[in-house]
């Protein structure tokens, strides 16, 4: 069974940092691109960014509003992807989902999702 | 303001048919990028409903169907059931933004 499990969320002060993890199982993690999508309370889905596989040079891309503040990485030996979030703003408060894109192309779709993890940025 | 435009809400009685539109532009749907649809039940993660404009993953009832024409796409749901009450999102790729993009979401209410 394909499974993605996020962890590492919580309450952080504005300007602070947080690192989310996404543990994968049930599929070839090393060959998959992992994307992050967030959803503020009562709002819609917002693409955060992605990290591709080793075969695609672990290339990363980010939404404009997160570029320079968020960094994605992965450890294929642990089947885990990470989202490092720095200089957090109150507007970054949301449920963060990791998701698998299949196939790994601009035409791909998100066919597996984690349960989501809540990040709250507040003083 | 979402790159892809969806109606905020639609409603229908049990057994009826409803459609949800998703309007894009020449840098996303109109540029021949595929449209995918997701269903999000209250308090849960999104679930893939339609991929590649018209295809249903295994396990999705054939009451759900997708179509695409030009810079727009639509999701149709026939034989509405109470369990279909959820938020629905379209998704594509935008070449100007070099980013995946979502519609703002449509809340379906089954009357």
Q: What is the mean pLDDT of chain B?
A: 97
Minimal CA separation from B17 to chain A, in Å: 24
Name the residue of chain A whose CA is nearest to B34's CA. Answer: A107
- Which chain A residues touch B if contact means CB-CB below 8 Å? 35, 37, 44-47, 50, 61, 63-64, 97, 106-107, 109-111, 113-116
Between CA A19 and CA A84 the distance in angstroms is: 4
Task: Please give the sequence-ordered ranges of beta strands (E in DSSP) within A1-123, or none if there are none.
Answer: 3-7, 10-12, 18-25, 33-39, 45-51, 60-62, 70-75, 80-85, 94-102, 109-113, 117-121
B46 to chain A, any CB pair closer than 8 A? The answer is: yes
For residue A35, what pLDDT band results from cuts at 50, 70 and 90?
very high
Between CA A18 and CA A11 the distance in angstroms is: 9
The average pLDDT across A15-29 equals 97
The average pLDDT across B58-72 equals 97
**What pLDDT does residue A29 have?**
95
**What pLDDT does residue A62 have?**
96
Q: Which residues of B touch A110 (CB under 8 A)?
A: 36, 38, 46, 48, 91
Query: Which bin fits B70, alpha (ψ -120 to 50), beta or left (φ > 0)?
Result: left
- Cβ neighbours of residue A68 under 8 Å, at least 6 residues apart? none
Asked whether the beta carbons of A85 and A78 are under 8 A apart, the reply is no
Q: Which residues of A touch B34 (CB under 8 A)?
A: 107, 109
For residue B1, what pLDDT band results from cuts at 50, 70 and 90?
confident
Residue recorded with tokens 């109606």: B7
């Amino acid at each position: 069974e394909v499974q993605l499990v996020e962890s590492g969320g919580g309450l952080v002060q504005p300007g602070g940092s947080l690192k989310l993890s996404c543990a994968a199982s049930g599929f070839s993690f090393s060959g998959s691109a992992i994307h992050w999508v967030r959803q503020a309370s009562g709002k819609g889905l917002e693409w955060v960014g992605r990290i591709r596989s080793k075969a695609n040079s672990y290339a990363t891309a980010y939404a404009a509003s997160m570029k320079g503040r968020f960094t994605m990485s992965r450890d294929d030996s642990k089947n885990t992807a990470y989202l490092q979030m720095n200089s957090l703003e109150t507007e970054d408060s949301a449920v963060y989902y990791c998701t698998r894109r299949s196939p790994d192309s601009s035409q791909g779709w998100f066919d597996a999702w984690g349960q989501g993890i809540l990040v709250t940025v507040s003083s | 303001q979402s790159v892809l435009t969806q109606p905020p809400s639609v409603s229908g009685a049990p057994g009826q048919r409803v459609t949800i539109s998703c309007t894009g532009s020449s840098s996303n749907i109109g540029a021949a990028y595929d449209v995918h649809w997701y269903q999000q039940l209250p308090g849960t993660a999104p679930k893939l409903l339609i991929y590649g404009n018209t295809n249903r993953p295994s396990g999705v009832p054939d009451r759900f169907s997708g179509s695409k024409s030009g810079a727009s796409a639509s999701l149709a749901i026939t034989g509405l059931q109470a369990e279909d009450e959820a938020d629905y999102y379209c998704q594509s790729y935008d070449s100007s933004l070099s980013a995946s993009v979502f519609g703002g979401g449509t809340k379906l209410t089954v009357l």
